[in-house]
A and B are shown apart, each in its own frame.
Chain A
Amino acid sequence: MARKSHVQTTINGETVEFLCESRQSLLEVLRDELYLTGAKEGCNNGNCGACSVILDGRLVNSCLVLGVETEGKSVETIEGLADPDKLHPIQDAFLENAALQCGICTPGFIMSAKALLDSNPNPTEHEIRYWLAGNLCRCTGYDKIVKAVMDAAKETSA
């Protein structure tokens, strides 16, 4: 019963295989088995959104998904966002707007913003606040994050 499972999945466009215990969350697999430490562990129970990744096109908390559940699926993490020589427009907008201070919530916010802009390229401020409500930031007071996402939307939908 304690045998590890072999899982094959796609992460940031590349086929990845790993072994994990069934009790390991996707977050633990990403960080501890695959050394993709962009997704952060905050609350570990679905409140803070610091571990947000995109699973088969849907934003999820990776701490509330089991690693074994990603068999045959596609995972997007913050590590897959930038080109080798160029940041993603959402990342640029976060820098331009000083939308981060300590930075621990930032990968989660950026993935949530990406999930939003992928489905709704021109969101209103209200929509941004609604769709980013699953991410907590204790530094910025959110206004700069919302402004960054609005700027990124202008950039990506232009």
Chain B
Amino acid sequence: MEKFSYVNATSLEQVTSLLSESGWGEVMLIAGGTDLLAELKEYIETPKTLVNLKTLPGMDSIEVDASGLKIGALATVADIAMHPTIQHHYTVLSQAAGSVATPQIRNVGTLGGNLCQRPRCWYYRDESTDCLKKGGDICYAVDGLSKYHAILGGDPVYIVHPSDLAPALIALGASIKIVGPAGEKTMSLEEFFTLPAANPFRENVLEPNEIVVEVSVPVPKPNTKSFYLKAREKGAPDFALSSVAGVFEMDGKTCKTASIVLGGVAPAPWRSKEAEAAVTGKMIDESVSQQAGADAVKDAEPLNDNMYKVTLTRNLVSRAAMMAAS
């Protein structure tokens, strides 16, 4: 790691002002640090200053009221996974949080960091590879090794977004609060993430001097079933090869509304409006669920090594739909 100076944050104004005084990457924010420190060790990022957000008061709370959940950006993934209300009423979020990495990482990794984490692409993470994501000319996954890369929305950068929390939160209709020098703004979490066609260098719309402070989740409708299905290469902690966050408002076996968001298959969490349309208003049976799976991947464009993700994703979506009806 290069040397850097370390500053404890005292207020959001101080943080946005420190960020405003520097260019991209000179001043960086650290919360859990589980993603950032790995990048610093590989010299992917070489900030001059790290600002420790953990000293900001009150930003790690999880509040429950009649309007839903408010989760501070500094709440840990472990706290989200183990929260009794989230386990009972926001099951998809609890399951997604419980599937993140390892106990050690969930204990320090934060909500804000999980949403803003950088891609795990092996070309991006390789110090000596000057890929398109890092300002080079080529996404090496296109002709190179692409086993863990995108099958949807990739062009021109074929990373996948590694977050498990993001698909779950988007499926629940979450919004995100951001603070910058001009004050705060709130947007839907779905709009927070961007595809590489809009910006090949970043995965979200956060400006260099802005910071994520809170995520709000509305109360799920009555008779909602939700779950997070995550396929990993082996039965051990890992990022998703493909995942499905499904939130289904049911009337018996009939689906009134559905939110189906895919993880691990695109450079941003991937809302599958096609799969949602295939189940909405239908009595879910095997043929409806299979149609939902097929529709979810009908626009997939796999690379050389990730054709398996098309089948995997299709089957995960079908399984999620069948679980909603069971």
Contacts and interface: CB of A to CB of B under 8 A. Distances in A.
B52 A59 contact: no
B41 A45 contact: yes
Interface stretch (A64-72, A93-101, A146-154): A64-72
A134 B37 contact: no
Contacts of B326: none
Contacts of A45: 38, 41
23 contacts: A1-B4, A1-B5, A1-B48, A22-B50, A23-B1, A23-B4, A44-B41, A46-B101, A46-B102, A46-B105, A49-B102, A58-B107, A59-B103, A59-B104, A59-B107, A60-B107, A61-B104, A61-B105, A66-B30, A69-B33, A69-B54, A115-B103, A134-B105
Given A21-B3, A58-B108, A69-B54, A133 B237 contact: yes
A106 interface: no
B40 A64 contact: no
A68 B101 contact: no
A-B pairs, top 6 by smallest CB distance, nearest first, are A134-B102, A22-B6, A58-B107, A23-B1, A134-B104, A61-B104
Contacts of A22: 3-6, 50
Interface of A: 1-2, 5, 21-23, 25, 44-46, 49, 52, 58-61, 63-66, 68-69, 112, 115, 131, 133-135
B272 to A, nearest CB: 29
Contact of B237 (A44, A58, A59, A134): A134
A66 B2 CA distance: 14
Contacts of A115: 103
A64 B5 contact: no
B34 interface: yes
A64 B105 contact: yes
Nearest to B37: A64
A1 B236 CA distance: 41
Contacts of B78: 58
A98 to B, nearest CB: 23
A134 B109 CA distance: 14
Contacts of B50: 22
Contacts of A21: 3
Contacts of A59: 103-104, 107
B95 to A, nearest CB: 13
A49 B1 contact: no
Interface string B68-85: 000000000010000000
A68 B3 contact: no
A46 B320 CA distance: 31
Interface in B24-72: 30, 33-34, 37-38, 40-41, 48, 50, 52, 54
Interface in B137-186: none
A155 B12 CA distance: 49
A5 B103 CA distance: 29
A69 B55 CA distance: 10
Contacts of A66: 6, 30, 33, 37
B326 to A, nearest CB: 22
A148 B237 CA distance: 22
A66 B108 CA distance: 12
A98 B248 CA distance: 48
A24 to B, nearest CB: 9
Contacts of A64: 33-34, 37-38, 104-105, 108
